[in-house]
Chain A
């Protein structure tokens, strides 16, 4: 048997941020075609599919039919916006084990064009009655943004974190977006701008919240052996791990600690790296507080010191710790589930294809997603070289 080390050999982005002419499936199609072109992989060689569905299509088997994938491995796991980091973990294991050789991970969303900016402040219930654990949340009118506000408030109470410190995350993401021509918002931003934006769910202001966009992405993974014959320099999966503390926010055990405190160290250990080795950090920035919690939980600073870390370190592409070099969900692109963009930007950076935001000599990238309401945390360490 040849070298079955899992690698990423193809990436494709559909168009963003506003694409009223594309529906969710069209985003899948565009991203997949671009990933195939990028990699040189023939579609017929894809024998694994990892996809939870599309909007209005809630299963992987329908997607396999629509996309025409004859698979030996199928995974329709759902874990919110970080599910793509879960898929990398699952695909890497399947490829190493020999269940399949070449897999497709795909995502497409027309959230902005179809639903507008409703995700954060609308209650999503199937009717006038709510079953399951949400029956203990839904009657109290806590929209998605409020779950993050509850975490931010607790962190402020426990550690003295300030709104100014959180705002720095939004300011740095905007600096990164300034050099991404596709980013939704590119004009410079100040801490005062963030604090002056209207309050959505105290202590989170409008500019503490990610944008809502359209968009899609696709990733093709295969063995290191097959990668040799393909177009791009492969990016190696050095380590991947997943963890969950809860699904519904009211069941979060400690509102200041996410499951990345478990998945992060496992992924780093598998990869044989420490935080000091990380050149590119891609963190799910649904809200500014998400970034602060992930910085702490992944070990870039101690628990509770995220605020002072943000005072002292710039997260810009040319700063102390280059983070979300595409401008992040806060300024560039967030079609509802951003996890795939974390991986795609990591690969662009490690290949040296990140344009004006390119970080010189980037060798290790970490993508850490957040799914649900600070619920599921998938961490992936990618490397230019194998372990």
Chain B
């Protein structure tokens, strides 16, 4: 799914050896998280070891579905381009696979966002080789 939101001017990630597979996946249109075989648990953000047991984690493709855990509507933000985007939504999304990630909720009026709202991932067009994931409300009748 393609995210319809401006990305130009945002501070972009600088991938490292742990996070590069995540950004390689978003460029393919996949949302992946680390997966620990020993703990049978997903992990985000990606790191050099499983933060529970210390073993080397693998990767797992997620469903790209989740629920809003909490959110805020940002009304004052000094740094470009966000000073031009206010008001906008910053939210934490609980992935169905467990981990939680920060995002902007797009395709949703700021007054309509709610805790518990079902959302799905959408990827912005690549800028400098990075496809940022965003989240938007799932289509009506879908879960």
Instruction: Tell me, in angstroms, the Cα distance from A157 to B87 when the chains sit together.
Output: 21
Q: Is the CB of B15 within 8 A of A135?
A: yes
Query: Which of A122, A132, A136, A250 is the one whose CB lies under 8 Å from B79?
Result: A122
Q: Is the CB of A141 within 8 A of B88?
A: yes
Cβ of B35 to closest chain A Cβ, rounded Å: 17
Instruction: Tell me, in angstroms, the Cα distance from A200 to B73 when the chains sit together.
Output: 8
Instruction: Tell me, in angstroms, the Cα distance from A139 to B79 when the chains sit together.
Output: 11
Cβ of A268 to closest chain B Cβ, rounded Å: 29
Cβ of A335 to closest chain B Cβ, rounded Å: 19
Q: Is the CB of B74 within 8 A of A139?
A: no
Query: Which of A129, A149, A153 is the one whose CB lies under 8 Å from B115?
Result: A153
Instruction: Tell me, in angstroms, the Cα distance from A120 to B124 when the chains sit together.
Output: 27
B residues sitting closer than 8 Å to A (CB atoms) are 7, 10-16, 19, 44-45, 69-79, 82, 85, 87-88, 90-92, 100-104, 115-116, 132
- Confirm or deny: A199 has a beta carbon within 8 angstroms of a beta carbon on chain B: yes
- Confirm or deny: A143 has a beta carbon within 8 angstroms of a beta carbon on chain B: yes
Cβ of B37 to closest chain A Cβ, rounded Å: 22
Q: Can you sample 23 A-B contacts with CB below 8 Å?
A: A118-B78, A122-B78, A122-B79, A123-B77, A123-B78, A129-B11, A130-B11, A130-B13, A139-B132, A140-B90, A140-B103, A141-B10, A141-B74, A141-B88, A142-B72, A142-B102, A143-B78, A150-B70, A153-B72, A199-B75, A251-B45, A255-B69, A255-B70
Q: Is the CB of A135 within 8 A of B132?
A: no
- 1/0 per residue, CB under 8 A from B, across A107-136: the answer is 000000000001001110101111111011
Cβ of A221 to closest chain B Cβ, rounded Å: 35
Query: Which of A123, A131, A145, A199 is the one whose CB lies under 8 Å from B82?
Result: A123
- Confirm or deny: A271 has a beta carbon within 8 angstroms of a beta carbon on chain B: no
Within 8 Å CB of A137, what residues of B?
102
Instruction: Tell me, in angstroms, the Cα distance from A133 to B14 when the chains sit together.
Output: 10
Within 8 Å CB of A145, what residues of B?
76
Q: Is the CB of A154 within 8 A of B12?
A: no
Q: A128-B11, A154-B115 are known contacts; what are 13 more A-B pairs with Cβ within 8 Å?
A: A121-B78, A122-B79, A123-B77, A129-B13, A139-B12, A140-B104, A145-B76, A154-B69, A198-B76, A199-B73, A201-B74, A201-B76, A250-B100
Within 8 Å CB of A142, what residues of B?
72, 74, 90, 102
- Confirm or deny: A151 has a beta carbon within 8 angstroms of a beta carbon on chain B: yes
User: Do A129 and B14 form a contact, CB below 8 Å, given A135-B19, A136-B102?
Assistant: yes
- Confirm or deny: A354 has a beta carbon within 8 angstroms of a beta carbon on chain B: no
Query: Which of B16, B70, B77 is the one whose CB lies under 8 Å from A157?
Result: B70
Within 8 Å CB of A129, what residues of B?
11-14
Cβ of A329 to closest chain B Cβ, rounded Å: 18
Instruction: Tell me, in angstroms, the Cα distance from A118 to B10 when the chains sit together.
Output: 18
User: Do A139 and B90 form a contact, CB below 8 Å, given A122-B79, A198-B75, A200-B76?
Assistant: no
Total number of A residues with any Cβ neighbor in B under 8 Å: 40
- Confirm or deny: A202 has a beta carbon within 8 angstroms of a beta carbon on chain B: yes
Within 8 Å CB of A349, what residues of B?
none
Within 8 Å CB of B75, what residues of A?
198-202
- Confirm or deny: A258 has a beta carbon within 8 angstroms of a beta carbon on chain B: no
Within 8 Å CB of A157, what residues of B?
70, 115-116
Q: Is the CB of A125 within 8 A of B11?
A: yes
Cβ of B48 to closest chain A Cβ, rounded Å: 12
Query: Which of B14, B77, B92 is the one whose CB lies under 8 Å from A143?
Result: B77
Instruction: Tell me, in angstroms, the Cα distance from A135 to B130 when the chains sit together.
Output: 11
Q: Is the CB of A141 within 8 A of B12?
A: no
Cβ of B125 to closest chain A Cβ, rounded Å: 14
Query: Which of A133, A141, A153 is the one whose CB lies under 8 Å from B77?
Result: A141
- Confirm or deny: A146 has a beta carbon within 8 angstroms of a beta carbon on chain B: yes
- Confirm or deny: A138 has a beta carbon within 8 angstroms of a beta carbon on chain B: yes
Within 8 Å CB of A149, what residues of B?
72
- 1/0 per residue, CB under 8 A from B, across A41-62: the answer is 0000000000000000000000
Q: Is the CB of A131 within 8 A of B16?
A: yes
CB-nearest residue of chain B to A202: B73
